[in-house]
Structure 1
Amino acid sequence: MIIPLLILIIIGTLITTASALSSLLSLYFEIRFWRDRKNTNRLINDSNYPWITVIMPVRGLDQNLRNNIASVLSQDYPGRRNYIFVLDSEDDPAYGIIKDLVKEFNVKISVLINRGRSKGEALAFALDHVASDVVVFVDSDVLVHRHWLRDLVSSLINGSGAATTYRFYIPLRRLSLGSLLRASFNMIGITAMQNPVARFTWGGSTAVWRRILDKWGVRDYLPYYLSDDYVITHFVHREGLAIDFVPESLVLSLEDIDIREAFTWSVRQLWYVRVYGFRGFLLYAVSYTLYAITLPIVISLSIINTWFLALGLLPFILGVIKDYVRISSIRALDQFYGINITRRYSILLALTSILNVYFSWLAIIKTMFTKSINWRGRVFTVIDAVRLMREKPLG
């Protein structure tokens, strides 16, 4: 009886210690990232900004669509800029909103109809109409500040092959647990962006040199992949250039959502990772499993010694501190973030990181057994994704 108990204590101590050390390292790297970011000089002469084309695929009505599109069009960008909106049909409810907004802005705007099935097909269709030096991809569910384009493109001028950012979720009209859980889960992506090895070109807000897209024939590959992030990331790496993360261009998504919808959304995001980056998915699974089993282990061991409970709670406390450091750093980037991300929301979101450990862990488990996803009314299966990849493997 003593030996099995001793083994349990040793294993439990090792797992708990590993979890605590992992959280401590994560907090250290978070603080270091934002400290180093303050010392980055991104000033560029206005005359050096290249001609850009902003491409936005649209399907259906996002909750804040009119304001989102208006913010993307209202840019303080020194260079020449064009806009392309791609829809499936004139019958799309977003079509009328876009046509009305086009009349309000003095920039070149094209509204194209592509009767395709996937986002990749829409992007490929739009690229056939691009002649600019830089292409910027942006999603229809994001709200941006006036210097979003300027900050994003500055990274390209400084030598990167692509400049990307990520999203930050905030509620539109009402704060709910579903909104908090999705926003907390979503910060996995910001963690990946902070790491140059894990970084990818997020299709919701990315700028890339058109010469790279043309050289590698990216438009020919996009219709065969459900993740445009995966395709563009691959070819920027093939070009041997860096992908720069630009938190100064972080976009906001203002939406209301319940817990069930948040869980479905999270599974869909993980499904893409599972299909196109399985090693990354395994890393998520191992990391969250480690955190998820820590609490029940220390509760069991606290019967022997209450110090185990204190050690087991440490990873969760450090996780709350790390998220609060991150959110506070984002709020300090620009008045736009300070106004939209309130201090109360910052505190609640940081505390939600505790629940998110189990929310994300359950989403990972569910994703392992999910064979298909529904993206804006279109159903895609793992078989669909694999078949398409085999038809056009990345060179």
Structure 2
Amino acid sequence: MLTWIGYACGLCAAFAVCYTVAATVLLPRFFARPRAAPTQYPAVTVLKPLHGHEYALLENLEGFCAQDYPAPVQFLFGVHDRNDPALKTVEALRALHPQADIAVVIDSRLYGPNRKISNTVNMLPHARHDVLVFADSDVGVSAHYLRDVVGELQRPGVGLVTCAYRGQPDPGFWPRLSANATNYQFLPGVVVGLALGLAKPCFGQTIAMRRDTLEAIGGYLPFAHHLAEDHAIGEAVRATGQTVAIPPVAVTHACAETTFGQLVSHELRWSRTIRAVDPAGHLGSALTHPLPFALVALALAGGAAWSWALVAAALVVRLALKLQADRTLRQPCRDLWLLPLWDILSFAIFAASFGSTRVIWRGVSFEVDGKGLLYPVQDK
């Protein structure tokens, strides 16, 4: 029985090696696509819910204020608490960019367990313009970000624009390991899924839409009980008959986990969320892990030559994917030794995702149902 399990793991590893080769080829092609230039430049409101201190918050907010966009841009920042330390960063931003149209909304009202959605709902009445760009606080962008997003939104049939993202680690070991998860596992998976027509993503790092589209899906309030509110918003827009577009640009997402526990909790929450909203796709994602399957095959096959060859192939293709991703994303290539470490840890997190439907979000435990809805639970 163990021998046959070893053969099965070997087949899974071989498939995962082929997947990794495909991801290596498709990744640069995805970002080499032409960008859509705007035919006109409408005024834009950028809405950013804030919560607490973040290492690179000022730098990330500055990127939005330094846009090469020849039309009015309103910046709305929202917090629940007037003592939130993020407000000091907003004041520093005002001092650095006195010409920017910046407004702050302080409103403690909650409409469900998803506090980010409640924060956004509180900001929306203050949005003056009809093109709305929702972006998480930990997102960094280039100077052409709004041009790219607005140009894509003007394509026929497009109702929402979202952006793929890469990990930008804060200082420290654990943020660097977290960036490995984003850059060499998550992002290649998105690109392959899009190429094969298996993925219909929407990412909270950027959600841009027109006001009439937002009204057509009932605003943001219906998503106050969703953990993966970005996925639910994308599905709601598609249900109106419009498409969700992803331009060939990657914004940055701050990887800020400072401990092993924070990293595992974050990745486990993400993995269980995907399992809840797309169980078949989540199960199939097992075949994107060549190295763990190859190592299990090696152990069960008693060190047979073919199993050693699979381990070597897994290491080579994962290294090739990392080198290609770093080149495509124009980021320094470093920490090669972290890649196999993350590959093993990520597979363990994937396996653990089947053990429960409970997640921890901002220190609170929730159960996630098959629709991705959150239900607070009392820990014993």
TM-score normalised by length of structure 1: 0.81
For residues 5 and 355 of structure 2, the distance between their equivalents in structure 1, rounded to whole angstroms, comes to 29
**Which amino acid letter does the alignment assign opposite residue 127 of structure 1?**
L
Out of 108, 119, 122, the position equivalent to 2:101 is: 108
Residue by residue over 1:280-308, the C-alpha shift from the partner in whole angstroms, topping out at 9 and shown as x without a partner, is: 33233x336775232132244354x4243
Partner in structure 1 of residue 81 of structure 2: 89
Matches within 5 A, 1:144-223: 144-159=141-156, 160-174=158-172, 176=173, 178-187=174-183, 188-194=185-191, 195-196=193-194, 197-223=198-224
Tell me the CA shift for residue 140 of structure 1. 1.2
For residues 204 and 181 of structure 1, the distance between their equivalents in structure 2, rounded to whole angstroms, comes to 20
Partner in structure 2 of residue 248 of structure 1: 249
For residues 68 and 98 of structure 2, the distance between their equivalents in structure 1, rounded to whole angstroms, comes to 13
Relative to 1, partners in 2 of residues 1:25 and 1:386: Cα closer, same or farther, differing over 3 Å? closer
Residue 315 of structure 2 aligns to a residue in which SS? helix
For residues 264 and 247 of structure 1, the distance between their equivalents in structure 2, rounded to whole angstroms, comes to 30
For residues 32 and 65 of structure 1, the distance between their equivalents in structure 2, rounded to whole angstroms, comes to 32
Relative to 1, partners in 2 of residues 1:166 and 1:376: Cα closer, same or farther, differing over 3 Å? farther
**Which amino acid letter does the alignment assign opposite residue 329 of structure 2?**
I
Q: How large is the Cα RMSD of the aligned pairs?
A: 2.9
Partner in structure 2 of residue 44 of structure 1: 38
Residue 84 of structure 1 aligns to a residue in which SS? strand
Relative to 1, partners in 2 of residues 1:236 and 1:323: Cα closer, same or farther, differing over 3 Å? farther
Partner in structure 2 of residue 120 of structure 1: 117
Q: Contact 1:78–1:150 at 8 Å: present in 2 too?
A: no
For structure 2, the 5+ residue unaligned runs are 376-380
Tell me the CA shift for residue 57 of structure 1. 0.6
* Count of equivalent residues: 364
Residue 31 of structure 1 aligns to a residue in which SS? helix
Q: Which moved more, 1:92-101 or 1:292-301?
A: 292-301
For residues 221 and 80 of structure 2, the distance between their equivalents in structure 1, rounded to whole angstroms, comes to 19
TM-score normalised by length of structure 2: 0.84
Out of 19, 24, 36, the position equivalent to 1:25 is: 19
**Which amino acid letter does the alignment assign opposite residue 294 of structure 1?**
A
Relative to 1, partners in 2 of residues 1:166 and 1:257: Cα closer, same or farther, differing over 3 Å? farther
Relative to 1, partners in 2 of residues 1:384 and 1:11: Cα closer, same or farther, differing over 3 Å? closer
Q: Contact 1:302–1:309 at 8 Å: present in 2 too?
A: no
Partner in structure 2 of residue 55 of structure 1: 47
Residue 133 of structure 2 aligns to a residue in which SS? strand
For residues 18 and 373 of structure 1, the distance between their equivalents in structure 2, rounded to whole angstroms, comes to 28
Residue by residue over 1:173-213, the C-alpha shift from the partner in whole angstroms, topping out at 9 and shown as x without a partner, is: 34x2x233211222443234323331322112222232211
For residues 359 and 269 of structure 2, the distance between their equivalents in structure 1, rounded to whole angstroms, comes to 6
Q: Contact 1:166–1:189 at 8 Å: present in 2 too?
A: no
Does residue 287 of the first structure (1) align with residue 287 of the second (2)? yes
Residue 15 of structure 1 aligns to a residue in which SS? helix
Q: Contact 1:193–1:245 at 8 Å: present in 2 too?
A: no
**Which amino acid letter does the alignment assign opposite residue 367 of structure 2?**
V
For residues 146 and 136 of structure 1, the distance between their equivalents in structure 2, rounded to whole angstroms, comes to 15
Partner in structure 2 of residue 393 of structure 1: none
For structure 1, the 5+ residue unaligned runs are 332-340, 391-395
Tell me the CA shift for residue 14 of structure 1. 4.9
Partner in structure 2 of residue 335 of structure 1: none
Partner in structure 2 of residue 230 of structure 1: 231
For residues 23 and 151 of structure 2, the distance between their equivalents in structure 1, rounded to whole angstroms, comes to 25
Relative to 1, partners in 2 of residues 1:39 and 1:274: Cα closer, same or farther, differing over 3 Å? closer
Q: Alignment identity in percent?
A: 21
Tell me the CA shift for residue 41 of structure 1. 4.5
Residue 224 of structure 1 aligns to a residue in which SS? coil
Q: Contact 1:16–1:312 at 8 Å: present in 2 too?
A: no
Does residue 34 of the first structure (1) align with residue 19 of the second (2)? no
Residue 49 of structure 1 aligns to a residue in which SS? coil
For residues 245 and 228 of structure 1, the distance between their equivalents in structure 2, rounded to whole angstroms, comes to 17
